[in-house]
Structure 1
């Protein structure tokens, strides 16, 4: 007798798709436009020496000067203020429809690409998945060199949100990249040769589960990088290294290691008072990773950093007696030279919803109520747009930019007014926004001429409730991803969320705290934005388009199809009087692992456009040419295996591969569309680690052959249920 999954259980599983890790190839191929007209290169010059000299001159003064003209793209977010605003305007609202391809370059990666291309002189530096760095001729797309750090593929299982990298930093004759396995590497900008390599994990390498996915920042003689992994087992920290030697200069931790003295510094003593000393955080590390956002004010000498979520997510188990749990979900200001704590503003005290504050920080000077204010602007996962005084951390305003049900607003002191039942201690509650965030890592931008911030806003439905049987660092079937070390402390989607997924580009007035215009998209998880003095906003979309909008009105002025969904942000630069716009394309990330919204399934690729570009767009395979779209059938199984298999699938597979036969597979395949022979061999494939070279973990010691058979039974049964319900 076959077991048919109840429709209610199937519906609940259908929405349980956050994400995790797996395959990726890193071969590279150049496809410069044969029929494009490119500016001439001075053959008499020594290109090796020129590339070195170009990066050697990049320092604080050069980064500040470049922000005034925008001819290069010298940092991840185009300057210390992180505004992603370029003063270039050769491409503008009147002629953007003339944009054509100048060149494209195949990154060779099948996983998520989140990097913004950095351009120094006539050289582009861009990263792909697995932390691979590509150096290209920015005029032609010709490959100059490639650096592959050879990240051990087991780190795919330690990356909650894909094996991604957001890009490099360049300064003082070096290209800096943080690798997924925790090294900060300095490269020769002309050859890609390793100049120095520092282990940022140190004594925590074996004991904790963590990664690096963010782009480093450089100021003075320091290069700064954080870590990721708050879903697993780690303690957040931010570290500054000497740009010349790679030696550690300072490190600041975001959560205390021990609630008892002696403390590392005054900030840790303050933080310890806000944590329950008997909570599960003592076993899991506490979280608070600083995996993305930083901004630097050279005038004030302050470095601002966004702190992530707690570990476990659920405060009921992390810190049962409550407390603010500093410095989770906070913006923290540090003295840039020493790492000394100066001030903080906590957006979500006692966070229990995975509302990280690690999203993009923008600095600007605004007139508010007739007064000139030095502000910090932030649109984090929790759905509120914050304006904070960056001199002292004082609260100015916060208003929701999407539908919010966890808080009713913020009081005059800047503390949230928590909605009744929002902590979901006794019953499941659909959270708006969810743990995917109203705005995730995808960079936003600010245009000083329009006064607007351009936010990749979104909603992915998710319901949560407190997990009364949670055990830290323990595999518990039915508890999401616990077999891979996740410590959530919540049960997820035990009820079916009512909200519908959405994604839109939102133009937001930070002074009036209101929406000015929006452009709706097919789905969530659309790319980062860049805005220009030409009156434009550029953004890529989840359905594989690259689009230019009028920054004032939101009218779409130009668009072009690209090889896959876009999650990264674009950059723009000028060489020999010609302005270019580049976007690195490659679908993936936490949402994109299990779900996609494009029929195109190409490898990662850089596209670069200019006015009247004449290069031919590359041929891109369609999804049905790459993956099966036929539900698996023919695998024989026992009905009693389906229930246990469902519990094991949730604890081992769900965030990476989605619901079998329901989700369509993102950068990772969906197991509902495999051949029956794969299910027959699943015990061997999982336990012997047949796919480990592509980033999928081996389940040796984590699953028995019998348990793998139960997972196979669940996959086949779910595919059958989907087929029956679709008739």
Structure 2
């Protein structure tokens, strides 16, 4: 059940008391009484030590009963109280109880303050204190506020949603210059902003404008910004809305995950209409009201009876359909599911590991459906307004033994692993697909962002695999155009210029029955989760890469890959000790324009701006800016944690900001600290959002 939030309908406070529609008032009263009884036991166990057994105050906290309490809370919706105690009590430990238990505590507090508990609770406000009362406090002489010497009037805070307009589909693919409304800024996946107030000439004046702590843990998602409001998805399936200019918290949603559910970071959330749409670690998709954080709808993803499912990528909303990819290594593979954005109704699901009776089903070396594994979807998709197609990437399989050696009369490509899939968002019709690397024996998947743009007069989609190969396809048909090579892989010896099919050096195919194999890059990349940025005006794709290799070592039984090999990190034979690579690739010619090398590997994605700047972050907690034209580093600062997502930029009231989140834990960081032992990662894994702007304005 979702955790109660600020603005959640007050009926949630006494859900049991309200009962089914048409229940008698007597039944409601009895249910409310039961809820109060439950709340009293919970209060004694969890709250009385601080707030006093009789709710009037104790040694460590003020009372939650009487005029002083009502002076603070009177006139506010009961839902605000539920949200406060659920997310803040005890201090630093909010969320330890269930939603029903927090509701019971709120019911107790309301009852102790004179609330009767009839059906009017559905629209309840907490009572105002009696006139002239509210100064008594708890008797300790500390909490009261004097009415004899009143405070000056507090400043009026403008309503950030006063002129709110619904987010449209056109806006998601062509946002206002000052906004960042989707993962990679727009659904085109370019990671490029037209803002140019911060330039190579003044970037040295960037300073912290504001910062906010987030729940500690892996934090993968880019913030989204629209009309001066920043939305941040934090670890533990929490969502925050901040004033994007000051960092003031506007609202917070915290999900109450079922016991035993492991929280997972997500790469993105989505804005659509008047909603924030997200996927949750307990395999739900839900919509929040963008102005209040109130849940609008919440639905479970149909799992088709499959186990081991995980959500790491994030949602894409296009043509009124919410799409989400799932990951698993269990039998029958993963899938992509879609839901109606207005209601949450399930629309369709698509198997990313093709079953025998489906298109592509004859490419699994004769395996039965229940022995086909992989096809995980770790990254959100893109949307092409010209074709109306949603473009998704699919990963590989770890069950490499089943596909390695071709069974006579079979096909062992393993669709739709390592493919781009192009769907109609509302129907799930697969219009085209392209498999970038069939029969991947190395865990070098192609599941990353799909970037739309215009190159050499053609409307194309570009994407790259861990190898550091960057394929360009016709966006309307999926027809192969060309491949650019970042220059670090050592196992692909040829690429068919017509079909794009890649030829692997047979001497480097691993297995328990073969000698150890040394090759580049490592299975962790190469390029990996960190998305690049594309400048459509210059056809330049900016990408970071880790210059790492691997030994695929056979073992007698087991193994990371089912061919019977484990994977070990290694430096390239000619390594200069610089493992972090930044490249500018001319996608029109497939040539590298420049390259920048540094010691610590990158961990964050790329941000490009019209000010001629590139921003990214690395494992050594450095956040940096580079000159797009030359690759020269022009600015740096230190962060409290490892930047884990891509930086973004936006503008409020004419002032440009650059934001980055920290919270180490994305998969590409695994093993990399050993490459630079002199640069240990923080032992305390904090998380935050830090926002920079030019010191003194423009």
TM-score by length of 1: 0.69
Give the equivalent residue in structure 2 for 1:460: 548
Give the equivalent residue in structure 2 for 1:411: 496
Asked whether the equivalents of residues 345 and 393 of structure 1 are also in contact (C-alpha less than 8 Å), the reply is yes
Asked whether the equivalents of residues 314 and 466 of structure 1 are also in contact (C-alpha less than 8 Å), the reply is no
Q: 1:152 to 1:402 in 2, by over 3 A?
A: farther
- Bigger CA drift: 190-199 or 340-349? 190-199
Alignment pair present for 1:361 and 2:361: no
Q: 1:395 to 1:65 in 2, by over 3 A?
A: closer
Give the equivalent residue in structure 2 for 1:3: none
Give the equivalent residue in structure 2 for 1:338: 427
- Please give the per-residue CA displacement for 1:64-116, whole angstroms capped at 9, x wherever unaligned: 442xx42110001111211011111111122111111100010131x322111
Q: 1:401 to 1:189 in 2, by over 3 A?
A: same
What is the CA–CA distance in structure 1 between the aligned matches of 2:319 and 2:354, rounded to whole Å? 28
What is the CA–CA distance in structure 1 between the aligned matches of 2:374 and 2:572, rounded to whole Å? 30
- Tell me the CA shift for residue 523 of structure 1: 3.0
Alignment pair present for 1:401 and 2:486: yes
Q: RCO greater where, 1 or 2, for CA within 8 Å and sep 6 or more?
A: 1
Asked whether the equivalents of residues 430 and 497 of structure 1 are also in contact (C-alpha less than 8 Å), the reply is no
> SS where residue 542 of structure 2 aligns?
strand
- Tell me the CA shift for residue 213 of structure 1: 1.0
- Tell me the CA shift for residue 491 of structure 1: 1.9
Alignment pair present for 1:250 and 2:348: yes
What is the CA–CA distance in structure 2 between the aligned matches of 1:341 and 1:245, rounded to whole Å? 24
What is the CA–CA distance in structure 2 between the aligned matches of 1:440 and 1:418, rounded to whole Å? 20
Q: 1:128 to 1:322 in 2, by over 3 A?
A: same
Asked whether the equivalents of residues 548 and 571 of structure 2 are also in contact (C-alpha less than 8 Å), the reply is no
Give the equivalent residue in structure 2 for 1:128: 234
Give the equivalent residue in structure 2 for 1:146: 252
What is the CA–CA distance in structure 2 between the aligned matches of 1:505 and 1:423, rounded to whole Å? 29
What is the CA–CA distance in structure 1 between the aligned matches of 2:481 and 2:365, rounded to whole Å? 30
- Tell me the CA shift for residue 408 of structure 1: 0.7
Q: Of 51, 59, 64, which aligns to 2:168?
A: 59
Matches within 5 A, 1:81-160: 81-109=188-216, 111-152=217-258, 154-156=260-262
Asked whether the equivalents of residues 288 and 311 of structure 1 are also in contact (C-alpha less than 8 Å), the reply is no
- Tell me the CA shift for residue 195 of structure 1: 1.3
- Tell me the CA shift for residue 128 of structure 1: 2.1
Q: 1:457 to 1:491 in 2, by over 3 A?
A: same
Q: 1:327 to 1:319 in 2, by over 3 A?
A: farther
> SS where residue 198 of structure 1 aligns?
strand
Q: Of 428, 433, 445, which aligns to 2:516?
A: 428
What is the CA–CA distance in structure 2 between the aligned matches of 1:86 and 1:116, rounded to whole Å? 14
Q: 1:238 to 1:453 in 2, by over 3 A?
A: same
Alignment pair present for 1:561 and 2:561: no
Asked whether the equivalents of residues 547 and 571 of structure 2 are also in contact (C-alpha less than 8 Å), the reply is no
> SS where residue 349 of structure 1 aligns?
coil
> SS where residue 146 of structure 1 aligns?
strand
Q: Of 593, 601, 616, which aligns to 1:516?
A: 593
- Tell me the CA shift for residue 346 of structure 1: 0.9
- Tell me the CA shift for residue 42 of structure 1: 9.7
- Tell me the CA shift for residue 293 of structure 1: 4.0
- Bigger CA drift: 307-316 or 459-468? 459-468
Q: 1:491 to 1:64 in 2, by over 3 A?
A: closer
Matches within 5 A, 1:308-387: 308-316=395-403, 323-367=412-456, 372-387=457-472
- Please give the per-residue CA displacement for 1:324-350, whole angstroms capped at 9, x wherever unaligned: 111111112122332111111111111
- Tell me the CA shift for residue 322 of structure 1: 5.4
Give the equivalent residue in structure 2 for 1:714: none
Q: Which has the larger radius of gyration?
A: 2
Matches within 5 A, 1:120-269: 120-152=226-258, 154-156=260-262, 163-204=264-305, 207-230=306-329, 232-233=330-331, 235-257=333-355, 259=356, 263=357, 268=358
Asked whether the equivalents of residues 428 and 463 of structure 1 are also in contact (C-alpha less than 8 Å), the reply is yes
- Please give the per-residue CA displacement for 1:151-193, whole angstroms capped at 9, x wherever unaligned: 357444xx9xxx3211210111110111123111111222222
Q: 1:362 to 1:183 in 2, by over 3 A?
A: same
How many residues align? The count is: 534
Give the equivalent residue in structure 1 for 2:539: 451
> SS where residue 360 of structure 2 aligns?
helix
- Please give the per-residue CA displacement for 1:646-677, whole angstroms capped at 9, x wherever unaligned: xxxxxxxxxxxxxxxxxxxxxxxxxxxxxxxx
What is the CA–CA distance in structure 2 between the aligned matches of 1:438 and 1:26, rounded to whole Å? 40
Unaligned runs of 5+ in 2: 1-91, 96-153, 674-678
Asked whether the equivalents of residues 550 and 568 of structure 2 are also in contact (C-alpha less than 8 Å), the reply is no
What is the CA–CA distance in structure 1 between the aligned matches of 2:524 and 2:189, rounded to whole Å? 23
Alignment pair present for 1:298 and 2:385: yes
- Tell me the CA shift for residue 612 of structure 1: 0.6
Unaligned runs of 5+ in 1: 1-24, 29-40, 471-478, 481-486, 615-727
> SS where residue 462 of structure 1 aligns?
strand
What is the CA–CA distance in structure 2 between the aligned matches of 1:253 and 1:466, rounded to whole Å? 32
- Tell me the CA shift for residue 460 of structure 1: 3.5
> SS where residue 165 of structure 1 aligns?
coil
- Please give the per-residue CA displacement for 1:101-154, whole angstroms capped at 9, x wherever unaligned: 100010131x32211110111211111223322221111112222222233574
- Please give the per-residue CA displacement for 1:362-396, whole angstroms capped at 9, x wherever unaligned: 110111xxxx1111111211321111111211111
Q: 1:489 to 1:112 in 2, by over 3 A?
A: farther
What is the CA–CA distance in structure 2 between the aligned matches of 1:26 and 1:179, rounded to whole Å? 21
Give the equivalent residue in structure 2 for 1:644: none
Asked whether the equivalents of residues 525 and 567 of structure 1 are also in contact (C-alpha less than 8 Å), the reply is no
> SS where residue 150 of structure 1 aligns?
coil
What is the CA–CA distance in structure 1 between the aligned matches of 2:301 and 2:390, rounded to whole Å? 19
What is the CA–CA distance in structure 1 between the aligned matches of 2:405 and 2:275, rounded to whole Å? 41
- Please give the per-residue CA displacement for 1:401-449, whole angstroms capped at 9, x wherever unaligned: 1421221131122111111222213222123122102111111101123
TM-score by length of 2: 0.72
What is the CA–CA distance in structure 2 between the aligned matches of 1:437 and 1:612, rounded to whole Å? 37
Asked whether the equivalents of residues 467 and 488 of structure 2 are also in contact (C-alpha less than 8 Å), the reply is no
Q: 1:493 to 1:339 in 2, by over 3 A?
A: closer
What is the CA–CA distance in structure 1 between the aligned matches of 2:241 and 2:227, rounded to whole Å? 12
Matches within 5 A, 1:618-633: none
Asked whether the equivalents of residues 99 and 609 of structure 1 are also in contact (C-alpha less than 8 Å), the reply is yes
Asked whether the equivalents of residues 572 and 580 of structure 1 are also in contact (C-alpha less than 8 Å), the reply is yes
What is the CA–CA distance in structure 1 between the aligned matches of 2:668 and 2:248, rounded to whole Å? 32
What is the CA–CA distance in structure 2 between the aligned matches of 1:129 and 1:571, rounded to whole Å? 19
- Tell me the CA shift for residue 580 of structure 1: 0.7
- Please give the per-residue CA displacement for 1:6-27, whole angstroms capped at 9, x wherever unaligned: xxxxxxxxxxxxxxxxxxx997
What is the CA–CA distance in structure 2 between the aligned matches of 1:467 and 1:223, rounded to whole Å? 43
Q: 1:130 to 1:467 in 2, by over 3 A?
A: farther
Q: 1:396 to 1:73 in 2, by over 3 A?
A: same
Q: 1:494 to 1:395 in 2, by over 3 A?
A: closer
Q: Of 583, 595, 598, which aligns to 1:506?
A: 583
Give the equivalent residue in structure 2 for 1:440: 528
CA RMSD in angstroms, aligned pairs only: 2.7
- Tell me the CA shift for residue 551 of structure 1: 0.8
> SS where residue 61 of structure 1 aligns?
helix
